[in-house]
């Protein structure tokens, strides 16, 4: 009787052992097929209590901010050094002045705007004027209470600009309409519609890297140069408030 009971127990354990081995085999096959995703999900849940806390997150964010600040300072120093190498005057930036447009010159809508800030507010001839989107023009005349601004669309406006994708300088000339002309004195210049145009790092009239516009169309009929129409990012006819940059180049 005892022998029968032992045989029965052995068979039961042997069968259970086979099922355990079979289950382990199936589990390994499942892990293989799923490429370990089950294990990763399992690890996700058991490791969650040990994840970095908010304090560590704040330390990381602070480190990132410090990195960006250091990079920005290095770029500023490089810009100052390059301007010295090019024998360009350094630009000094003080507080900018917010101003409202109180008039657009009759008969020449695109040529000039008048602002409600003047010499009493610290505005000077040559100050740069920007609006939402980028460059609008330069102050050409100042009274005690107002300032007149020559827009980049004026035929009187000629500014050095920079085509970022090509890393090349060009000349932006106003035509008296809403699309100034970009002149590149190289027939082989690979300019394309959509290229971004900003103020040139080598300009003696503007600080560098002020957004201006994008290339709208290209004229390749001239033999000695290429010209392009520029769509301004800042729209003079819809802007009511501007910023006067107190920058002396």
- pLDDT at residue 2 in the model: 43
Sequence-distant (≥ 6) Cβ neighbours of residue 31 within 8 angstroms: 38, 39
Query: For 209, what's the count of Cα atoms within 13 Å in the CB-facing half-sphere?
Result: 4
pTM of the model: 0.62
Q: Which of 85, 107, 138 is the last residue of a domain?
A: 85
Q: Is 218 exposed, middle or buried (0-12, 13-18, 19+ CB in 10 A)?
A: middle
Domain count, the chain: 3
Same domain, 25 and 69: no
- pLDDT at residue 186 in the model: 77
Same domain, 148 and 197: yes
- pLDDT at residue 180 in the model: 93
Same domain, 16 and 39: yes
Same domain, 76 and 199: no
**Using one digit for the tens of pLDDT, what is the confidence trace for 32-62?**
665 555 555 555 566 556 554 555 456 556 6
Residues of the chain with pLDDT under 70: 1-19, 22, 27, 29-64, 66-67, 70-72, 74-95, 106-110, 247-249
Which structural domain range is residue 28 located in? Answer: 2-49
Count of CB atoms within 10 A of residue 28's CB?
10
Distance between CA atoms of 121 and 94, rounded to whole angstroms?
A: 13
Same domain, 195 and 104: yes
**CATH number of the domain that residue 237 is part of:** 2.40.10.340
**Using one digit for the tens of pLDDT, what is the confidence trace for 8-35?**
555 555 566 666 776 777 767 666 665 5
Q: By the 8 A CB rule, do 150 and 112 touch?
A: yes
């Amino acid at each position: 009787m005892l022998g029968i009971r032992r045989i029965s127990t052995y068979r039961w354990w042997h069968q259970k052992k086979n099922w355990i081995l079979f289950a382990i085999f199936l589990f390994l096959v499942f892990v293989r097929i799923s490429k370990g995703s089950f294990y990763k999900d399992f690890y996700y849940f058991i490791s969650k209590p040990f994840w970095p806390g908010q304090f560590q997150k704040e330390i990381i964010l602070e480190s990132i901010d410090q990195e960006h600040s250091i990079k920005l300072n290095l770029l500023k120093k490089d810009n100052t050094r390059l301007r010295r190498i090019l024998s360009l005057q350094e630009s000094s930036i003080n507080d900018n002045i917010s101003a409202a447009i109180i008039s657009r010159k009759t008969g020449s809508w695109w040529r000039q705007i008048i602002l409600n800030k003047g010499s009493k507010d610290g505005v000077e001839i040559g100050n740069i004027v920007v609006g939402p989107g980028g460059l609008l023009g330069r102050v050409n005349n100042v009274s005690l209470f107002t300032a007149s601004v020559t827009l980049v669309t004026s035929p009187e406006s000629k500014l050095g600009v920079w085509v970022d994708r090509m890393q090349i300088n060009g000349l932006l000339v106003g035509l008296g309409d809403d699309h100034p002309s970009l002149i590149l004195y190289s027939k082989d210049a690979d300019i394309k519609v959509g290229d971004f145009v900003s103020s040139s790092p080598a300009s003696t009239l503007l600080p560098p890297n002020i957004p201006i516009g994008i290339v709208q169309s290209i004229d390749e009929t001239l033999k000695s140069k290429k010209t392009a129409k520029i769509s301004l990012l800042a729209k003079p006819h819809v802007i009511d408030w501007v910023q006067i940059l107190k920058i002396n180049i």
